[in-house]
Structure 1
Amino acid sequence: MDAVELARKLKEEATCSICLDYFTDPVMTSCGHNFCRQCIQMSWEKAKGKKGRRRKGSFSCPECREASPHRNLRPNRLLTKVAEMARQHPGLQRRDLCPLHQEPLKLFCEEDQSPICVVCREAREHRLHRALPLDEAAQEYKLKLEKDMEHLREEMFKTGKLQAKEEQALDEWQNKVRRRRERIVLEFEKVGLCLLEEERRLLQALKEEEEETASRLRESRALLAQQSHSLERLLLQLEDLSQREPLQMLQDIKDPLGRSSFSTQYPEVVPPAALRTVCRVPGQIGVLKSFQEDVVLDPTSAYPYLLLYESRQRRYLSSPPEGAEFCNEDRFVAYPCVVGQKTFSSGRHYWEVGMNLTGDALWALGVCRDNVSRKDRVPKCPENGFWVVQLSKGTKYLCTTMAAPTPVTLTEPPSHMGIFLDFEAGEVSFYSVNDGSHLHTYSQAAFPGPLQPFFCLGAPKSGQMVISTVTVWVKG
């Protein structure tokens, strides 16, 4: 008897005929057959309900049908050990036996890719399939597995190299970011030092100008005070002389008349607007450009004879209207004005306006409420919903309101203006992009509502404004 047959016989002896599994707590009946204790008890419990002739307290054996007393079940300790040995024997594991026929799995069906026994080989479902001995099939598949493993090792090697490269790239990137972070901090420290130095320079220049102008004003004040004192003394002498008797007055008239003919001096008064120092913060325009908006003009709001030419599309956005369009309620009809399409009710916004203006140009720039009067001529001031700066007839004084002008001295009319709106802060600031100087800032607690960019040209031949890609001028 070979080892396989011996193992099969051992398995049969260690298997319960009821559950077809290895014995668990085996017991022997009076007729000499062995079963799992739980299996035989369940079998007899089921038999209780069946009709038939049997002696009271006894049940038939599932193997030989001989009556056996219910309580006459003796433990079989030897069979318990045999079942445990069979359960642990590697050659008797359930996976090594056919689940249908309980025969050793000796063949491999290539069609179904599964091991089969010799009984399965003759069965209808496998009869026409190619079957190989288990060892031959294992050898073939072992070669395939080795090829697959070799491929996987190559892929693992490639993956490892790529992983190493990625780790190196990550380290290099983090080092680059660290160096860039250090450079940013260092550069901002330098910028801070430069700004501090520029601040000191500007404050020193302002101080020197203040002292120089104050000195001139004090000299003028002293000269005028001395002159006023001399005039007062002479006036008193003349008043005294005029009250004398005719003879006495005429005897003393020569000397007072000579002194009353002296020339007075009136020094030139230095106006506060003549202050030359203008605030220029280095790099400020660059910072403001980070909030830059591409302002798009609203042609429906434009004054009837304010022409808007879009250079990219090479077309007019507006032209002198006719009929009912002239009275469109959205149009400005009191001044040559236009507003942007977008309204702002939060955030920070910056835009620039190029100006190619004549010497007598009239213009205004800034923001306005979205519901300002477009039919009436009203002063362009915050009380009427306008926060603008204006230049009148090419003067060098920039007025912030019409009703109460606060002039800002300009060395020359700017050709490039920047407007910065900080809605939450309640501020509108104006800058000369030419030299980066700050011109004026409106500051208040809060704006009363949404705002729009506002543009105004005073009259024909005032010149042109350029907003984004649109050129604006007044038709003559």
Structure 2
Amino acid sequence: MDAVELARKLQEEATCSICLDYFTDPVMTACGHNFCRECIQLTWEKAKGQKRRRKQKGSFPCPECRELSPQRNLRPNRLLTKVAEMARQHPSLHSRDLCQVHKELLKLFCEDDQSPICVICRESQEHRPHRVVPIEEAVQEYKLKLEKDMEYLREEMMKTGNLQAKEEQTLAEWQEKVKERREHIMVEFEKMDLFLMEEKQRLLQALKKEEEEMVAKLQKSIALLEQQSHSLEMLLLQLEDKNERTPLQKLQDMKDLLSRKNNLSVQYPEATTTKLKTVCRVPGQIEVLKNFQEDVMPDPTTAYPYLLLYESRQRRYLSTPVDGTACGKDRFLAYPCVVGQETFSSGRHYWEVGMNLTGDALWALGVCRDNVSRRGRVLKSPENGFWVVQLCKGKRYAPTMSALIPITLTEPPSHMGIFLDFEAGEVSFYNVNNGSHLHTYSQPAFPGPLQPFFCLGAPKSGQMVISTVTLWVKG
């Protein structure tokens, strides 16, 4: 008998015929059969409830041979207890080593199904056409494969571990770089905050000094004029008094009065220019605004009939109507104006306009509502849907609304920046050449969508450049 059959025999001897499991606290009946103590007691308890006569009262039949056995004659079988324990610990007697269908040892391996089978399974219709080998042969073959796979997995684990360590190092280095950059940003912005505060104080001090100098100059001029006015008033009163007297009294002291009048020196101060020299210039502001820069393009379908648009990137003129051509409802007819193709109803937007203009040029820049009047002449004011600045003859540059102090420049800027903050209700204008702020419109909210607005006055006013498009008025 081989080891497998011997193990199988041991399993059969160590199995209770009632529960079909290894013995637990085995006992022997008078007839010599063995059962688990709990199993035989439960069996006899059930037999008590059956209403049938027994030949001997207090005796019960053996489940194996039906021979009557007194319940009190159950004797513990210590040897069988040890055999059952040995069977439990035997590696080849585990339930996983038995066929689930036939309860036979799994001795063969089906290579088609890649699963162990028993000898009865081998003869079944299912496995008969399959390639079957002994379990030991299959184990040997797969042992080599498993060893190869385990070696591969060990190598991959080593690679993975090395990569993980490298990634962890990279993570630590990255976090250190981020920490250093964060500290650098904070330090630089703190320095910038300090610099901006110092620049703010410098500009405010310069403005205060300019204010004090102008106030002192004007107050001195006012004092001189007040003194001169007082002298003139006193002399006038004397002359009026002399004029009311009798002819003889008029002639008295006349020479002195006339001499005082002739010697009176009336002086008028030169007109004082109240143009502010201190400009509002925040360092780096234009660079910050460029983060919101848009590639604004004029819409040729809205252009004034004689406003020419040349697209330098494509080297062609954009479509503009000729004399006599019917004009659409979106085209400006009252002024040489055009709006951008973009419509803004939210967010922040910045664009720049280059200008090569003559000294007497008339122009306007800014934003307008998308439904402004395009056929009639209207004042370009917020009330009419225009938020623009313009240059009039005489080089007066001011918002086209009733401003208390219109902005005046010595010469028109050659590079303008327009910044729209829709949610804030603000449109701001900047001289890109020197970074100075020119004007800001501010209201609680805009009444609707806005479009970039451009107006170029009259023929021979020069040129205006928006992105890659050049505008000028046909003469």
Say whether the fold is shared (TM-score over 0.5).
yes
Q: Name the structure 2 match of 1:435.
A: 434
Q: Report the RMSD for the aligned CA atoms in angstroms.
A: 3.8
1:451 maps to 450
Asked whether 1:330 is paired with 2:330, we answer: yes
Report Cα offsets for 1:149-201 as digits up to 9, x if no partner. Answer: 22111111111111111111111111111000000000001101111111111
Count matched residues. 465
State the distance in 2 between where 1:369 and 1:8 align: 97
Q: In the TM superposition, what is the alpha-carbon distance from 1:128 to its structure 2 partner?
A: 7.8
Q: Is the 8 A contact 2:398 2:408 kept in 1?
A: no
Deviates more, 1:171-180 or 1:235-244: 235-244
Match of 2:209 in 1: 208
Aligned to 1:387: 387
1:455 partner SS: strand
Deviations 1:211-237 (A, max 9, x none): 111111111111111211221122122
Contact 1:26 1:75 in 2 (8 A): no
Equivalent runs, 1:359-378 vs 2, <5 Å = 359-378=359-378
Q: Does the CA contact (< 8 Å) of 1:301 and 1:330 recur in 2?
A: yes
Q: Does 1:346 align with 2:346?
A: yes
**Which position in structure 2 is the counterpart of 1:48?**
none
Give the letter aligned to residue 400 of structure 2: T
The amino acid that maps onto 1:447 is: F
Q: CA deviation at 1:429?
A: 1.4
Q: Secondary structure at the match of 1:277?
A: coil
Q: Which amino acid aligns with 1:152?
A: L
- The alignment status of 1:163 with 2:164, answered yes or no, reads yes
Aligned positions of 1:141-220 closer than 5 A:
141-220=142-221
Contact in 1 for aligned 2:30/2:74 (Cα 8 Å): no
Q: Which residue of 2 aligns with 1:424?
A: 423
Preserved contact between residue 357 and residue 462 of structure 2 (Cα < 8 Å): yes
Normalising by the residue count of structure 2, what TM-score does the alignment of the two structures yield? 0.83
1:267 match: 269
Amino acid at match of 2:376: D
For structure 2, the 5+ residue unaligned runs are 47-51
2: CA distance, partners of 1:236 / 1:123 = 146
Q: Helix, strand or coil: the match of 1:177? A: helix
The question of whether the paired residues in 2 share the 8 Å contact of 1:280 and 1:436 is answered with yes
Counterparts of 2:301 and 2:75, CA distance in 1: 107
Which segment is superposed worse, 25-34 or 358-367? Answer: 25-34
CA pair 76-332 structure 1, distance change in 2 beyond 3 A? farther
Gap change, CA 1:346 and 1:112, over 3 Å in 2: closer
Alignment of 1:193-342 (within 5 A): 193-250=194-251, 252-262=253-263, 263-272=265-274, 274-321=275-322, 323=324, 325-326=326-327, 328-342=328-342
Deviation, 1:261, is 3.1
Deviation by residue 1:299-334 (Cα, 9 ceiling, x = unmatched) = 2221111122222222222323455632x2212111
One-letter code aligned to 1:364: A
Opposite residue 298 of structure 2, the aligned amino acid is: L
How far off its partner does 1:281 sit?
0.8
CA shift for structure 1 position 11: 2.5
Alignment CA distance shift 1:331-1:117 (3 Å): closer
Instruction: State the secondary structure of the residue aligned to 2:280.
Output: coil
Answer yes or no: is the 8 Å Cα contact 2:97–2:105 preserved in 1: yes
**Alignment identity in percent?**
73
1:414 deviation in Å? 0.4
Say if 2:14 is the partner of 1:6: no
**What displacement does 1:242 show?**
2.5
Of 160-169 and 24-33, the range deviating more from structure 2: 24-33
State how far apart, in whole Å, the 1-side matches of 2:403 and 2:113 are: 100
Structure 1 gaps, min length 5: 46-54
